[in-house]
Amino acid sequence: MKGVVERISILAVSALLCAAFMGVPPVYGAKPINIGVIGFQSPPPGQSIFDAAALAVDQINAKGGINGRPVKLFAYDDHGKSADAVEAFQRAVYSDHVVAVVGVWISEVALALEPWAARLHVPFIVTGGASTKISALVHDNYNSYKYIFQLTLNSDQMARSIADFLKEDVADKLGYKRAFIASENFDWTKSLDAGYMKYLPKAGIQVVGHIRFAPDTNDYTPIFSTIEKAHPDIVVTGWAHVGVKPTVQWHEQQVPVLLAGVNAQAATSAFWAATSGATEGVISQSEASDAPITPKTIPFVKVFEQKFKISPAYCGYNTYDAVYMLKKAIEAAHSTKSDALVKALEKMSYTGTQGHIEFHGKKSQFTHSIKYGPDFVTGIQAQWQNGKLVTIWPKRAATGTLVVPHFVAQKRSAK
């Protein structure tokens, strides 16, 4: 936690120095606008939440803050535990007087915080948790839970995005039409797997097996053995907490199936070193990448990589957008009051790093979750090729095309 706070302090100082050099009037003496960021600092996706929030605040303050007021960021490491997150949320509101909270990587943690956001009337923008239960609580209890927004594709939308990709680039082009679903046993993958079962057949892909495994699994050999017996062409994954071990064992055992779906840790540049290159050929869904998704995407990635020496994880894009959307909401509302911010966010139409962002209304089953589609956010599919992440879908943002790993191609050609 100390490291996060120190990093944010350094960024705040650099913001003021940058402001001076850019000719932007400093905001000394103005009452700051306090924003809280909560997340699990240890894993790379969790660290991206803190880094992206700090970067956004750094940039906003360098340009004069919000309506002439500086933004002050309060960072809290929840250690992946709901109890720690609840304590952090309470501290953020009661002691640090934040006007809003962003972040949270784990769905179970986000769900634990929702009643507190509702009770304390504090806008809470979830930028990591993907469970559909997050927006379902808002839909079912709108008057109380209207303060919660989900600025990431939920797991049903992720499944739809992956099915759209697999249909266009795998089933139709390669003839790979047999899929085995393999997911870690967490709340977010329940709706993900249900989405796979719904959307894959619609994409012309037969589901030939389904397995959920404990996240503390060490030996994936029996799992891959079970998968191979079903003779699939693709293993469609739901991995976030796990990633390194199953990816390495897939590579070492030369399992002759395409590995695609959600492999959240594989979407950052750190994953190559973490797997010693065993991630070569792996495909993973993410919210965005170093690709021309919007005019804001590539500039954000370049600055992020320059500052933190790593590419942003999916929740880094979401968190960066969340801070800027709060800025826009405060400016539109001319207020930092909770209900005014909620109304501003509900009306907002914003182009961020991940696409054009609008929230579903209270009549939708995904109330306050972002809209999915080519005119909004679809997510991207990126593949590790020769040590680099290459965006292969959608076409409008692609920087390359899909490459079938040699041991997969050899097995199929031998059939």
Which pLDDT value is given to residue 27? 53
Which pLDDT value is given to residue 29? 73
What is the rounded average pLDDT for all residues in the chain? 92
- Percentage, residues of the chain above pLDDT 70: 92
- 44 — pLDDT class (breaks 50, 70, 90): confident
Quick: pLDDT tens for 116-146: 999 999 999 999 999 999 999 999 999 999 9
* Number of Cβ within a 10 Å radius of residue 108: 17
For range 228-249, the mean pLDDT: 96
pTM flag (> 0.85): yes
Res. 32: pLDDT tops 80: yes
3-state DSSP assignment of residue 36: strand
Of residues 105, 159, 156, 99, the one with CA closest to residue 127: 105
Q: Domains of the chain: which residue ranges?
A: 2-153+293-357, 156-286+379-414
- 338 — pLDDT class (breaks 50, 70, 90): very high
Give the CA angle between residues 303, 73, 113 to the nearest 5°: 110
Which DSSP category does 265 fall into? G
**Phi/psi of residue 89, nearest 5 degrees:** -65, -45
2-153+293-357 — its CATH code? 3.40.50.2300
Q: What is the dihedral of CA 6, 11, 14, 19, to 10 degrees?
A: -140
For range 355-367, the mean pLDDT: 97
Which pLDDT value is given to residue 49? 97
What is the C-alpha separation between 182 and 235, in angstroms, rounded?
Answer: 7
Residue 336 neighbours by CB under 8 Å, 6+ apart: 33, 99, 330
One-letter amino acid of 173: K
Which pLDDT value is given to residue 410? 81
Residue 373 neighbours by CB under 8 Å, 6+ apart: none
Quick: pLDDT tens for 267-301: 889 999 999 999 999 999 999 999 999 999 999 99
Quick: pLDDT tens for 206-221: 999 999 999 999 999 9
Domains 2-153+293-357 and 156-286+379-414 share a fold: yes
**Burial class of residue 350 (count of CB atoms within 10 Å of its CB; 0-12, 13-18, 19+):** middle
Res. 10: pLDDT tops 80: no
Give the CA angle between residues 392, 397, 398 to the nearest 5°: 25
What is the C-alpha separation between 154 and 134, in angstroms, rounded?
Answer: 9
What is the C-alpha separation between 297 and 288, in angstroms, rounded?
Answer: 8
What is the C-alpha separation between 40 and 1, in angstroms, rounded?
Answer: 10
**Burial class of residue 269 (count of CB atoms within 10 Å of its CB; 0-12, 13-18, 19+):** middle
Res. 20: pLDDT tops 80: no
CATH topology of domain 156-286+379-414: Rossmann fold (3.40.50)
What is the C-alpha separation between 149 and 135, in angstroms, rounded?
Answer: 7
Quick: pLDDT tens for 373-390: 999 999 999 999 999 999
Quick: pLDDT tens for 74-124: 999 999 999 999 999 999 999 999 999 999 999 999 999 999 999 999 999
